[in-house]
Structure 1
Amino acid sequence: MTLTLPTPASPLRIGTRGSPLALAQAYETRQRLSDAFDLPQEAFEIVVIKTTGDNRAMIDADRPLKEIGNKGLFTKEIEEAMLRADIDIAVHSTKDMPVEQPEGLVLDTFLPREDVRDAFISPHLQSIHDLPDGAVVGTSSLRRRAQVLNRRPNLTVVEFRGNVQTRLKKLNDKVADCTFLAMAGLRRLGMDEVPATAISTDDMLPAIAQGTIGIERRGNDSRAAGMLEAIHHVETSHQLAAERSLLLALDGSCETPIAGLAEIQNGQLRLRGEVLRPDGSEAIVEESSGAVEDGAEMGRAMAEILLKKAGPGFFEWRNSEKV
């Protein structure tokens, strides 16, 4: 099939949220498409779409995300724009995406994965282990909150939402002694000046799909499918097949502390998964290895084991005053 490529007069419209990180990811996508097809950047139009989640996050900046809504709050308007054909593709942080897409849309293109690790951010300290008893940790992530309290139950965790710049300002304002960000976000923003220490995945298993850019399209858009195929990273897709299958089988949402990471080593896929009580009082970890093409089945099988070990009520909020 011969692709009808976009032109400056009729550009491919790339939908994105308007945060600095979201825009950096959209620009990376545009550059990769431009290079793949030898097209000028003017053949692509970046379309910024404000989502319900962006609006609610600004109004309710100090409320936990689980009280505002689920992850779909940050994709609804973008996906509606794509279904109306106002945009052609949408660029997302895959870790923020629901596992299942609305009818008519598919998320099947992934760029090469960045650093998967979390970053410990503090002006004066290098590690969570350096924090004194009672120190204040700022994070909006239920996963990180549970992991921190599991490793250091003598710390205090406070809500700490916003984009990278907002969180760093809160840290400078001494709202907390430290916070966490994704290394991938810092690298994509070129923020080498941030006092960040990468945390080993053995110490803090990352969020499902952390460090990956996912590109969504209409299922019947053959031009978008053909163009995106040229920048799709197969190894990353194998990793995400395992991780997102694990998440789906665990019925994961932004209200559930779940971590997971798939890595390809010596032709084999290694999958690690972790579920935690929201108050950090218990963590269950599993690991398995298998053929790369069996990742989705490995994720489902691991979820069954984790759910069986966890038992009913594992994810219920308890000791809420502590977290």
Structure 2
Amino acid sequence: MSKTVVVGSRGSRLARSMVRELLEPLKRAYPGVVFKHKTVMTAGDRDRTTDLRNLAATPGVFAKQIEIALLAGEIDVALHSLKDLATTPTDGTLLAAVPLRADPRDALCGSTLRGLPHGARVGTGSPRRIAQLKALRPDLSTVPIRGNVPPRLRKARDMDLDAVILAAAGLHRLGLSQEITEALDIESFPPSPAQGVLGVQIRKDSTELHDLLSTLHDQSTDYAVKAERSLLAALHGGCSVPVGAFADVRSGQLHLSAQVTSLDGTTVIRATRSCALHDADDLGKQSAYDLLDQGAEQILSTARETPSNT
């Protein structure tokens, strides 16, 4: 294996923090290897104006350019936020490691959910977050807000919003935990599938690199995200649809809770299942079928067809 390993990622402060999180244990374990970081500009980073709901409907908007750089040999390792990576693997690539999951929850910054006044304005462009928020507080209004984490916090203040919803993991990774007013309950506000998880991707033929990266792999996290991403794939979903899911390992079993919520918050469909650890993929599929049996497809179809300005 080469003595130099180039890791590619997006260029945000959060992406750089994720790269440090990845490389610190590797540098300790492999002092003879030089690890370098290369920034790759993605389509989602170039487009700062399109509404997040419309942008997220484009497959690979935050990952494709990084995968292209990987397959072209410009980088050796592609580091993603796993929720940005398509559920169908790109030919020639391999998800080599899934490190231990960080905090999977969403966080309110600026107020607690109970503390928000009637009619309060909350910043988020995520269909899932909009739907789940309206299910819990139908009186609230949401305001689209885009950008990296620190700019979103600044925009929330500049726009005089009462609160903004962000991923807790990103805030922790950036040293901004003090901005969290409330970490939202994972049962009533389930996160995006694989939220808080890093995805470490390599070329399929990089055998030695796979062995090196295996030291980072956390098997319990891998079981959990396999179930969550299998559910999302079976629902033909992505960031543009209101699907929340969370799986974890308890007492030797894998437990998955999933939720589909209409954009107006009036309909909430839930499914909960457990299985043996090695059946993670099937757990996700069966949970998706449970949701579909309860009418989830109508909600998902409506969400896909709804313009972002409604």
TM more than 0.5: yes
Q: Which residue of 2 aligns with 1:145?
A: 130
Q: Which amino acid aligns with 1:274?
A: Q
1:233 aligns with 2:218: yes
Q: Which amino acid aligns with 1:101?
A: P
Q: Which residue of 2 aligns with 1:70?
A: 58
Q: 1:279·1:322 contact (CA, 8 Å) conserved in 2?
A: no
CA distance in 2, matches of 1:311, 1:183: 27
From 4, 17, 21, give the equivalent of 2:14: 21
Q: 1:209·1:240 contact (CA, 8 Å) conserved in 2?
A: yes
Q: Which residue of 1 aligns with 2:179?
A: 194
Q: Which residue of 2 aligns with 1:101?
A: 89
Q: Which residue of 1 aligns with 2:79?
A: 91
Q: Which amino acid aligns with 1:193?
A: Q
Q: What SS does structure 1 have at the residue aligned with 2:178? A: coil
- Give the unaligned 5+ runs of structure 2: none
From 96, 111, 123, give the equivalent of 2:99: 111
**CA 1:136–1:71 in 2, change beyond 3 Å: closer, same or farther?**
farther
Q: 2:99·2:216 contact (CA, 8 Å) conserved in 1?
A: yes
Deviations 1:135-175 (A, max 9, x none): 11110211101101111111111101111111100122134
From 170, 184, 188, give the equivalent of 2:155: 170
- Give the unaligned 5+ runs of structure 1: none
Please report how far the alpha carbon of residue 277 of structure 1 lies from its aligned counterpart in structure 2 after TM superposition: 1.5
Q: What is the TM-score of this pair, normalised by structure 2?
A: 0.94
From 179, 195, 217, give the equivalent of 2:202: 217
Q: What SS does structure 1 have at the residue aligned with 2:188? A: coil
**CA 1:205–1:68 in 2, change beyond 3 Å: closer, same or farther?**
closer
Q: What SS does structure 2 have at the residue aligned with 1:166? A: helix
**CA 1:202–1:172 in 2, change beyond 3 Å: closer, same or farther?**
same
Q: 2:60·2:85 contact (CA, 8 Å) conserved in 1?
A: yes
Q: Which amino acid aligns with 2:63?
A: T
Please report how far the alpha carbon of residue 67 of structure 1 lies from its aligned counterpart in structure 2 after TM superposition: 4.7
Q: What SS does structure 2 have at the residue aligned with 1:12? A: strand
From 95, 119, 133, give the equivalent of 1:134: 119
From 293, 296, 299, give the equivalent of 2:278: 293
The range that moved more, 98-107 or 79-88, is 98-107
Q: Which amino acid aligns with 2:43?
A: T
Q: Which residue of 2 aligns with 1:182?
A: 167
Q: 1:66·1:254 contact (CA, 8 Å) conserved in 2?
A: no
Q: Which amino acid aligns with 2:219?
A: V
Aligned length: 308
Q: Which amino acid aligns with 2:187?
A: D
Q: Which residue of 2 aligns with 1:279?
A: 264
Q: Give the alignment's Cα RMSD to 1 decimal.
A: 1.9
Q: Which amino acid aligns with 2:40?
A: I
CA distance in 2, matches of 1:28, 1:168: 23
**CA 1:311–1:203 in 2, change beyond 3 Å: closer, same or farther?**
closer
Q: Which residue of 2 aligns with 1:50?
A: 41
From 253, 256, 261, give the equivalent of 2:246: 261
Q: 1:105·1:217 contact (CA, 8 Å) conserved in 2?
A: yes
Please report how far the alpha carbon of residue 188 of structure 1 lies from its aligned counterpart in structure 2 after TM superposition: 1.1
